[in-house]
Amino acid sequence: MRKLVLAVIVFAACEKKSAPPGPTVSEAEATEFAKQLAAATMTQPCDNEKVASMVDGDAIAERMKHGAKSQETEFGTAHFKDPHAVARILCAWQQGVEGYRMLHMGKRDSQPAPIMRRLARAPRKSVMIVGYDQLILEKQGNAVKLVDIYSYTQGDFLANLLVSGMDAMSDQGIGGSMDAASALKKSRELQKDGKYAEALAVVDALPREVHNSRMVQMARLRIADQLSLDAYKQALDELAKLFPNDPSVALVDVDGAFLRGDYTKALADIDTIDAAIGGDPFQDAIRASVYVARNQPGDYEKAAAAAEKAITTEPSLSKGWYARLDVAVKRKQFKLAVETMQHLHDDFGVKLDPDALAKFPDYTDFLASPEYKAFAAQ
């Protein structure tokens, strides 16, 4: 009985010491925050001061401290108490980005957590690539602040990514850490000069623990993509081996699987991404293209359904309309193809060059069709 009483006293004491939950961020506040962050980061140049005003540097530094494995890393977290340090990272993520907006509202720790979509033009290719973030928000008085951000592309929270990179470098000792930091800086400078082969060589010379960290591997992939298709394929394969069954790897491995001709794997990767982010019309458009390329019985019908879903869910997303055009041409539905081209012209200002289209064998019959000739004569 005495033990039971003591247990109750201890439990009550612990309850008294626990901090009361903070105020809840409303969905309306989270939506407005996402809108303002997108506007600040998409301003040219990125509005570092505005972004910094939306960040709680102390909270991010505290989250980093919890994950630090070394004393050197724990000391290093103090740098990120300055919200400008975090703002500079977020602004760097937006370089070359053409679109950044809230996709839909998610949840983290019972708080609304907007899922953001980032669209950028791929190096060497005239195609759009996609990335996703989830904003981790807390309310301080009447102000909503960013306390962390989950990068689906990197596969972790920003605080953890920063800590893992610092831990990996600190494992090399002070001298090794300085060498690794200097090497990464040199690689970035080489990239700015367009010397991608040299930049990749510098990264590949890093110590194994640093080289194989997620942040460095993702940076390595971006360098390889600008170097050559073979380098890009090799970087994708290395990433997939280091981080198997990972939604963030699936996000980039869709491209790798498509390049290898493994269309079933590409479709599985898209399913993995959708399960992680809650679905995206952009992924529906990609799914349509993969079904067309795979061309198994029933795949054209599945491709048509995926393309229609994309344009119905998000009519302002041009990728869905391009997917619909490709599917219609494949199915010899030339009237629908012409209607889609007209929509691309009227709503997106797109005028497709027939000489460019003629380079694709699938478009030969379409360009010779009465439907296209009537459209071109307008």
Q: Give the CATH fold of the 280-376 domain.
A: 1.25.40
Burial class (CB in 10 A: 0-12, 13-18, 19+), 309: middle
Q: Which CATH architecture group holds 27-170? A: Roll (3.10)
Contact 135, 33 (CB under 8 A): yes
Quote the pLDDT of residue 335.
97
Quote the pLDDT of residue 249.
78
First-to-last alpha carbon distance for the chain, in angstroms, is 93
- Residue 316 carries which side chain, given as an amino acid letter? S
Closest-CA residue to 252 (of 116, 95, 131)? 131
Checking 321-325 for CB contacts under 8 A at 24+ apart, the result is 321/347, 321/348, 322/285, 323/284, 323/285, 323/286, 323/288, 323/289, 324/288
Quote the pLDDT of residue 68.
59
Q: Which residue carries 């498509």 as its tokens? A: 258
pLDDT in tens, 157-216: 998 888 776 655 444 444 444 566 678 788 888 988 889 999 999 999 988 888 888 778
Q: Token pair of 119, please?
A: 């669209």
For residue 115, the 8-state DSSP code is E
Quote the pLDDT of residue 361.
93
Q: Taking each helix axis from N to C terminus, what angle separates 158-170 and 173-192, rounded to the nearest 10 degrees?
A: 120
Q: Where are the alpha helices (DSSP H) in 44-195?
A: 48-53, 57-67, 71-76, 83-93, 158-170, 173-192
Quote the pLDDT of residue 315.
97
Stretch (H or E) spanning 302: helix 299-313
Quick check: helix, strand or coil at residue 209?
helix
Q: Token pair of 203, please?
A: 């990264």
Contact 63, 148 (CB under 8 A): yes
Query: Is the link from the previous residue into 114 a cis peptide, with omega within 30 of 0?
Result: no
Alpha carbon distance 102, 84 (integer Å): 23
Sign of the C-alpha dihedral, residues 248, 250, 255, 260? positive
Closest-CA residue to 259 (of 125, 132, 121)? 125
Alpha carbon distance 106, 138 (integer Å): 14
Alpha carbon distance 145, 238 (integer Å): 37
Quote the pLDDT of residue 115.
97
Identify the segments of the chain with pLDDT beneath 50. 1-18, 169-177
Q: Taking each helix axis from N to C terminus, what angle separates 318-330 and 281-294, rounded to the nearest 10 degrees?
A: 20
Quote the pLDDT of residue 165.
60
Domain spans of the chain, in order of start: 27-170, 280-376
Question: What is the gyration radius of the CA atoms in the chain, in angstroms?
Answer: 24
Quote the pLDDT of residue 123.
60
Quick check: helix, strand or coil at residue 306?
helix
Backbone angles phi, psi at 279, to 5 degrees: 95, 150
Quote the pLDDT of residue 180.
67
Alpha carbon distance 69, 215 (integer Å): 17
Alpha carbon distance 332, 208 (integer Å): 52
Sign of the C-alpha dihedral, residues 268, 282, 376, 358? negative
Q: What's the predicted TM-score (pTM) here?
A: 0.79
Contact 306, 288 (CB under 8 A): yes
Quote the pLDDT of residue 259.
81
Sign of the C-alpha dihedral, residues 33, 38, 39, 40? positive
Quote the pLDDT of residue 183.
81
Contact 323, 306 (CB under 8 A): yes
